[in-house]
Amino acid sequence: MPVEIDIDHVARLARLELSDEEKERLRTQLAVILDNAAKVGEVATEDVPPTAYAIPRSNVLRPDELTPSLPLEEVLANAPEVEDDRFKVPRIAEVE
Amino acid sequence: MRRRSRTIGSRFRASPRSNDVTALCDRKATELGAMLRAGETSSVEITASCFERIEAVEDRVGAFLARREDPAQEQAAAADSRIASGDAPAVAGIPLALKDVLSTRGVETTCGSKILDGYVPPYDCTPWNRLKDDGSVLLGKTNCDEFAMGSSNENSAFGPVHNPWDLTMVPGGSSGGSAAAVAAGEAIWALGTDTGGSVRQPASLCGVVGLKPTYGLISRYGLIAFASSLDTIGTFTRGVRDAALLLSSIAGKDVLDATSLDTPKRDYTEGIDGGIDGLRVGVVREALGEGVGAGVESSVRDAIDRLAGLGATVGETSLPHTDYALSAYYLIAPSEASSNLARYDGVRYGLRVDGADSIEMMTRTRGAGFGAEVKRRIMLGTYALSAGYYEAYYGQAQKVRTLIIRDYEAAFSDFDVLVSPTSPTTAFPIGAKVDDPLAMYLNDVFTIPANLSGMPAISIPSGLDEKGLPVGVQITAPVLREDVLLRTAFALEQVIAFDERPRLVTDLAA
């Protein structure tokens, strides 16, 4: 049973602009890959617990000590746009 | 330089069987370390030898994205003073290349992606931090598949890497630049990353040693994330002892990575030559059959015979869920990637393509900045994690991960190490698989299980196939049994005595 994917919906979730040609190619390729990947369902039965990390660790703590932060200038030097020691972004809300 | 190194290295002449490749940059780190301590060469000379080789072959190989000749020579001079003072660590003065997904303070780090073009990290990854403290010399950053996603290095936004054994072939991936650089003598050794085989498979295709240690043994701090539960830093060297030496410098607990294991610092070269008499070697049945190249199969079978010749007990074992590992991997890795790569939003670093509002800016930036394979995996992962599909895909894949671990537990109750080919085939032509993602993904069918299970594994050259291309044999050991892994690999390496080098290199010596 071929997988039918709503490419526009997934691209919107991923915040990814795709050309029509890219969408077409992805529709075909993802269907093939997912069709193959669906094989996992053949053996993953109810009684098998999931593994997120092969070597699980929990409550990993380190000493709560103050250390210097990264130098502001070096961090901001990588930003596409900066204003007053802050990252500048386009408008995020409508005005009026 | 070649003439001088021959004089300097007279006490360290390579074995008579060896190709006549005697430039400093063609020697192993272990040999160079001894020469440095004996005052027979200097780090400045070794570093110059590497850059001479880079100059000679790099326009054909394309292993590097950035070269650092002047800073490297400063580091080399500092290492020389330290060695002269008599208390330098073993890796001091040995030139290194780093895959361009490893953050280096003040040195551009792109992950082979347009979206990070021009990004200069404000901090060092932990492995480089430790190596730098130990007097290492950074030659440059190596080319790789974009964000380490690929098996051929063709997904780099900055062009492919060519296999030094045959320039029309891929070097493997994703750490193709690191593998090619070490194979061609452009670096003595290198670091790469292995999420599904990205150290072992290119090492196999380029005829060098590729070690992926236990997940968590080397800190991932500063490794730009692809799939966090699988990403493992690994080494490229021209010998197993070199791999142990490099590992000794970078392994061990790091408070900056919560997944790093509580392992004490140790010398992994210790006991490496202890032999494997009585060792129980399991041959993975699923890995020697359909889909495996004839040249690969015969070379690996020959290596298995040699293990028996060394006194190991060889038997057959099975990892019955091998087929499902690939499917699980291509759900888990893209899922984690789709989450990790959400950070490339045009705000804090890298590319920005303007838009009317923030969402449009992000969407356009990501559309313009990511290449085809990265987009494919982000879409795959986003879909696999989306409402209504999570259980059927990601949830099931995580269960398969449990089954893979159980396969290994069963196999390791009967055997100390497992043996298989590293990759089903030797190097393939550039362009051959770019339009067929599934065929490309099959490259990693034998390497992926060790990532899903966290086990340490190593690829060492076992010979050449009928086309003269290197074959790699993979050895896998239980979690944190790097000692057994390296001891086995070292013993096998000695009897295989693989001393072939790419024609690209031997032609220079002629």
d(Cα B479, Cα B485) in Å, to the nearest integer? 10
Q: Do B379 and A30 touch (CB under 8 A)?
A: yes
Closest CA to B247 of B226, B272, B284: B272
Share of chain B above pLDDT 90, in %: 91
- Window 102-131 of B: residues touching A by CB (8 A cutoff) are 118-120, 122-123
Q: Give the model confidence (pLDDT) of A2-55 as tens digits.
A: 678 999 999 999 999 999 999 999 999 999 999 999 899 999 889 999 999 999
Of B215, B348, B361, the CB nearest to A54: B215
Q: How many CA atoms lie within 13 A of B207 on its CB side?
A: 22
Q: What tens digit of pLDDT does each residue of B201-215 get?
A: 999 999 999 999 999
What single-letter DSSP state applies at residue B137?
A: E
Task: Yes or no: say if B376 and B393 are a contact pair by the CB < 8 Å rule.
Answer: no
Distance from CA of B82 to the nearest CA of A (A): 29
Query: The tokens 């044999």 sit on which residue?
Result: B473
* Per-position b or e across B94-117, b if 16+ CB within 10 A of its CB: bbbbbbbbbbbbebebbbbbbbbe
Q: Contact A16/B367, CB-based, under 8 Å? A: yes
Band of pLDDT at residue B344, cut at 50, 70 and 90: very high
Q: B61 near B170, Cβ under 8 Å?
A: no
Catalytic residue among B5, B42, B49, B174: B174
What residues form DSSP beta bridges with B474?
B420, B459
Q: At what angle do helices A20-37 and B322-340 cross, to 10 degrees?
A: 140
Contacts A29 to B, Cβ<8 Å:
376, 437
Grouping H, G, I as helix, E, B as strand and the rest as coil, residue A21 is helix
Confidence at B21, pLDDT banded by 50, 70, 90: low
The pLDDT value recorded for residue B290 is 85
Catalytic residue chosen out of the listed positions B28, B99, B141, B433: B99
Query: How many Å apart are CA B9 and CA B296, to the nearest integer?
Result: 35
Instruction: Convert the pLDDT of each residue in B80-103 to its tens digit.
Output: 999 999 989 999 999 999 999 999
ipTM confidence: 0.95
- The letter for the amino acid at B287 is A
pLDDT (mean) for B161-187: 98
The per-residue pLDDT of chain B, averaged, comes to 94
Closest residue, chain B, to A86 (C-alpha): B348
CA distance B447 to B194: 9
Q: Are B403 and A48 a contacting pair at CB < 8 A? A: yes
Statement: residue B305 has pLDDT above 70:
yes
Kindly report which listed range (A14-23, B2-11, B236-245, B323-332) carries the lowest average pLDDT score.
B2-11
pLDDT at A14: 98
All residues of chain B having their beta carbon less than 8 Å from the beta carbon of residue A91 are: 357-358
Handedness of CA A89, A90, A93, A96 (dihedral sign): positive
Using the predicted structure, report yes or no on whether residue B327 has a pLDDT greater than 50. Answer: yes
**Those residues with Cβ within 8 angstroms of residue B46's Cβ, 6 or more apart along the chain or in another chain:** B24, B25, B32, B36, B76, B93, B94, B95, B188
Residue of B nearest to A37 (CA): B327
Measured over the CA atoms of residue B117, residue B123, residue B127 and residue B129, the dihedral's sign is positive
Average pLDDT rounded to a whole number, residues B117-146: 97
Query: B198 an active-site residue?
Result: yes
Burial of B307 (0-12, 13-18, 19+ CB in 10 A): buried
Would you call B99 a catalytic residue per the annotation? yes
Q: Is B49 a catalytic residue?
A: no
Strands (E), B32-126: 64-67, 95-99
Taking the C-alpha atoms of residue B394 and residue A17, their distance in angstroms, rounded to an integer, is: 24
Decide if B345 and A15 are in contact by the 8 Å CB cutoff: yes
Mutate to test the interface with B, among A25, A51, A61 (most CBs of B within 10 A): A51
Q: Using a CB-CB distance cutoff of 8 angstroms, which residues of chain A are in contact with residue B361?
A: 89-90
Q: For B104, phi and psi rounded to 5 degrees?
A: -130, 120
**Contact assessment for residue B88 and residue B79, using Cβ atoms and an 8 Å cutoff:** yes
- The candidate with the shortest Cα–Cα distance to B227, out of B198, B206, B267, is B198
Q: How confident is the model at residue B15 (pLDDT cuts 50, 70, 90)?
A: very low
Note the pLDDT tens digit of each residue in B490-500.
999 999 999 99
Predicted model pTM: 0.95
Closest CA to B428 of B207, B58, B152: B152
Task: Flag if A17 and B358 touch (Cβ within 8 Å).
Answer: no
Chain A residue with minimal CA distance to B229? A53
- Residue A84: per-residue pLDDT: 93
Q: How far apart are CA B240 and CA B115, in angstroms?
A: 36
B361 has a chain A CB within 8 A of its CB: yes
pLDDT at B1 over 50: no
User: Do strands B95-99 and B137-142 pair parallel, antiparallel, or not at all (unpaired)?
Assistant: parallel
Closest C-alpha among B87, B92, B49 to residue B69:
B49
- CA separation for the pair B409, B401 (Å, rounded): 13
Q: Round to whole Å and give the CA distance between A90 and B443.
A: 43
Interacting residues of B387 by C-beta distance below 8 A, sequence separation 6+: none
Question: And the tokens for B447?
Answer: 């390497």
Give the mean pLDDT of B300-328.
96
CA distance B309 to B289: 23
Q: Residue B507: what are its φ and ψ, rounded to 5°?
A: -60, -35
- What percent of chain B stands above pLDDT 70? 96
Query: Which of B198, B204, B335, B423 does the annotation list as catalytic?
Result: B198
Using CA atoms, how far residue B419 sits from A44, A65, B297, in Å, is: 26, 46, 12
Instruction: Give the mean model confidence (pLDDT) for residues B454-471.
Output: 98
Residues B170 and B167: their CA atoms lie apart, in Å, by 8
Q: What is the pLDDT of residue B149?
A: 98
Q: How far apart are CA A84 and CA B58, in angstroms?
A: 43
B327/A40 touch (CB, cutoff 8 Å), yes or no: yes
3-state secondary structure of B290: coil
CB B52 within 8 A of CB B133: no
